[in-house]
Amino acid sequence: MVLCSDDKTYEEVALTVFQKLKDETIVVLAGYPESLVKKLKAAGMEHFIHVRSNVLE
């Protein structure tokens, strides 16, 4: 599942969405909200897609 929004909305919902869906599917965040990335990674999120992503990996 790709979560796609603006950084402000990510601050409000990304962690909750990830926690609810992480056991059901792969959750990918579209974007790289720097203020939130460490928190999401600490919660277990591994997948981010953005302009600097190596999509082949």
User: What is d(CA 7, CA 45) in angstroms, rounded to the nearest whole number?
Assistant: 16
Entry pTM: 0.85
Minimal CA–CA distance to 5: which of 29, 34, 35? 29
The pLDDT assigned to 52 comes to: 87
Each residue's pLDDT tens digit, 1-57: 999 999 999 999 999 999 999 999 999 999 999 999 999 999 999 999 998 888 787
Q: Which residues 6+ apart lie within 8 Å of 16 measured at CB?
A: none
Joined tokens for residue 44: 């277990």
User: What is d(CA 49, CA 30) in angstroms, rounded to the nearest whole number?
Assistant: 5
